[in-house]
């Protein structure tokens, strides 16, 4: 909105007419039913249920399957609170006139019943939208930092994007909060004062920066994934997983288009309704996309828990593992420091200090790349595989690379494990 001074309230005679004149040939209908209110409620319920379901799936998988709960997960929980607030605000906006044509609203009713509520919930919803989007992107970037090894140059790019998102989110949020003097004029049009910030231009700026950060977040993990040791098919699959963010980016672009239309029409309640619905889908889909890396290990764990058909002959975990090994291109062996790895003649032998890899000195775990034809190390320390279960290493697991672990248990304690991944 442009800078304004005190705006006088309408005269009594004007209160009986519509808020704005209707287009030629259109007769105002003050008794029209706002069916968009029902649509908003249904949409909010569906989006909220999906978001909560995916977040619970993510938290359960990280807590009990991969055992890798970290700050990216906690940040996503905080983001859900802001998303839920925006979802509730979308309903409140429709109950305060959004979705109706302004010529179908009597000016007296608008001034007495809806005007303040419409402005309040639009301002609150916009603020929640900005904070929620910033928090979700923070969660995604924290996930990137967890996957990237210390010292990798790509980490500096992630830190740069994280700072960029944080700075423009905080800056634009403060600009909205202090857009008008006094602040209450942002929510009440007829309050004496002035507004120094054009909120439509502000929203266009926020939308543009939002699209730029979306593209950066999508592009950054591609070099990381392409440098990993896995088949091209799996690389494409992982990149496609991150590419789901392109759908969100497309929604952001369409939302930007709806914001441009706000300046070209006085029928703001209809135009704002379209922006609200697109923002609702965009913000909820962004949160769902941030939970997608946990979807594959979650499904695989569920499939592993399904009992085999009773008519089939039971197979031992070792024989099942051998069937998998025939399709593998690499195998990694993990052993505790007290159980040193003694390999046979292997085609490739690479030791990596995973504690250094993650910067976690409390977890001194070594990795060794072994020959695919000799998946087991039979040196008297590991004699058989007695149990299989799903596993995510701190580095590889969250990228959904299909890593699995076969635990050797002796005396109820995990002594060592073979980690293997699907290859070409």
Q: Enumerate the domain spans of the chain.
A: 30-294
* Residue 208 CB coordination number (10 Å): 15
pLDDT tens string 381-409: 333 333 333 333 333 333 333 333 333 33
Residue 400, phi-psi category: left (phi > 0), alpha (psi -120 to 50), beta (remainder) = left
Q: Which residue has the higher pLDDT, 119 or 239?
A: 119
> Which range among 142-146, 278-282, 295-299 has the greatest average pLDDT?
278-282
In SS3 terms, 68-92 reads as CCCHHHHHHHHHHHHHHHHHHHHHH
Q: What are phi and psi of 334, to 5 degrees?
A: -115, 135
- Stated length of the chain: 424
Tokens found for residue 275:
């922006």
pLDDT per residue over 51-96, tens digit each? 999 999 999 999 999 888 999 999 999 999 999 999 999 999 888 8
* Across 168-172, 194-198, 225-229, 264-268, least confident range: 225-229
Q: Is the dihedral of CA 333, 337, 338, 340 positive or negative?
A: positive
- pLDDT at position 217: 92
Average pLDDT, the chain: 73
Tally of CA atoms within 13 A in the half-sphere of 235 that contains its CB: 13
pLDDT score for 308: 59
Residue 167 has pLDDT above 70, yes or no: yes
> How far from 307 is each of 82, 286, 310, 387, 406, CA to CA, in Å?
40, 35, 8, 15, 18
pTM of the predicted structure, to 2 decimals = 0.70
189/123 Cα distance (integer angstroms)? 12
Say if CB 296 and CB 402 are below 8 A apart. yes
Quick: pLDDT tens for 198-257: 888 899 999 999 999 999 998 887 877 777 766 777 777 777 777 778 889 999 999 998
Query: For residue 150, with 0-12 CB atoms within 10 Å meaning exposed, 13-18 middle and 19 or more buried, which class applies?
Result: exposed
pLDDT band at 267 (very low <50, low <70, confident <90, very high): confident
pLDDT value at residue 419: 40
Stretch among 85-94, 141-150, 302-311, 392-401 having the lowest mean pLDDT: 392-401
Question: pLDDT band at 104, cuts 50/70/90?
Answer: confident
pLDDT on residue 375: 38
Average confidence (pLDDT) over 95-119: 83
The yes or no reply on domain 30-294 and CATH 1.20.1070 is yes
Instruction: Find the mean pLDDT for residues 140-154.
Output: 84
Helix (H) and strand (E) counts for the chain? 13, 8
pLDDT at 13: 59
Q: For residue 328, give the H/E element and its range.
A: strand 328-335
Mean pLDDT, residues 324-344 taken together: 38
Say what the pLDDT of residue 223 is: 78
Residue 219 parent element (H or E): helix 199-219
Residue 374 binned pLDDT confidence (cut-offs 50, 70, 90): very low
Residue 144 has pLDDT above 60, yes or no: yes
ω into residue 182 within 30 of 0, thus cis?
yes
Locate tokens 């990795």: which residue? 367
Q: Residue 316: is its pLDDT beyond 70? A: no
């Amino acid at each position: 909105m442009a800078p304004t001074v005190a705006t006088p309230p309408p005269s009594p005679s004007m209160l009986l007419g519509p808020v704005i004149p209707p287009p030629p040939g259109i007769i105002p209908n003050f008794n029209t039913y706002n069916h968009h209110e029902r649509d908003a409620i249904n949409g909010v319920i569906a989006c909220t249920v999906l978001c909560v379901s995916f977040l619970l799936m993510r938290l359960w998988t990280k807590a009990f399957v991969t055992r890798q709960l970290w700050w990216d997960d906690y940040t996503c929980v905080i983001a859900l609170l802001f998303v839920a607030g925006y979802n509730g605000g979308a309903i409140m906006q429709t109950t305060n006139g959004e979705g109706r044509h302004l010529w179908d609203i009597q000016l007296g009713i608008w001034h007495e019943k809806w005007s303040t509520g419409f402005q309040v919930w639009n301002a609150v919803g916009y603020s929640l939208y900005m904070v929620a989007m910033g928090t979700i992107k923070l969660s995604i970037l924290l996930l990137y930092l967890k996957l990237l090894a210390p010292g990798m140059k790509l980490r500096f790019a992630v830190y740069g994007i994280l700072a960029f998102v944080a700075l423009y989110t905080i800056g634009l949020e403060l600009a909205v909060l202090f857009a008008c003097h006094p602040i209450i004029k942002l929510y009440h049009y007829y309050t004496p004062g002035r507004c120094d910030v054009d909120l439509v231009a502000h929203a266009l700026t926020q939308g543009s920066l939002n699209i730029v950060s979306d593209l950066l977040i999508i592009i950054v993990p591609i070099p990381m994934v392409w440098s990993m040791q896995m088949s091209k098919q799996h690389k494409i699959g992982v990149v496609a997983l991150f590419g789901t963010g392109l759908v969100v980016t497309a929604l952001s672009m369409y939302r930007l288009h709806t914001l441009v239309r706000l300046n070209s029409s006085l029928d703001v309640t209809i135009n704002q309704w379209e922006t609200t619905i697109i923002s609702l889908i965009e913000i909820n889909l962004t949160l769902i996309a941030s939970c997608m890396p946990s979807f594959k290990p979650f499904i695989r764990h569920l499939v592993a828990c399904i009992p085999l058909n009773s008519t089939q002959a039971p197979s031992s975990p070792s024989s099942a593992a051998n069937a998998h090994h025939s399709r593998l291109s690499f195998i990694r062996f993990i052993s505790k420091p007290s159980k040193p790895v003694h390999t046979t003649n292997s085609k490739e032998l690479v030791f990596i200090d995973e504690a250094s890899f993650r910067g976690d000195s409390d977890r001194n775990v070594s990795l060794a790349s072994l020959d695919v034809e000799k998946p087991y190390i039979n040196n008297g320390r590991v004699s058989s595989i007695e149990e299989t279960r799903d596993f995510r290493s701190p580095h590889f697991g969250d990228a959904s690379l299909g890593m699995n672990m076969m635990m050797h248990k002796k005396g109820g304690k995990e002594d060592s494990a073979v980690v293997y991944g699907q290859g070409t």
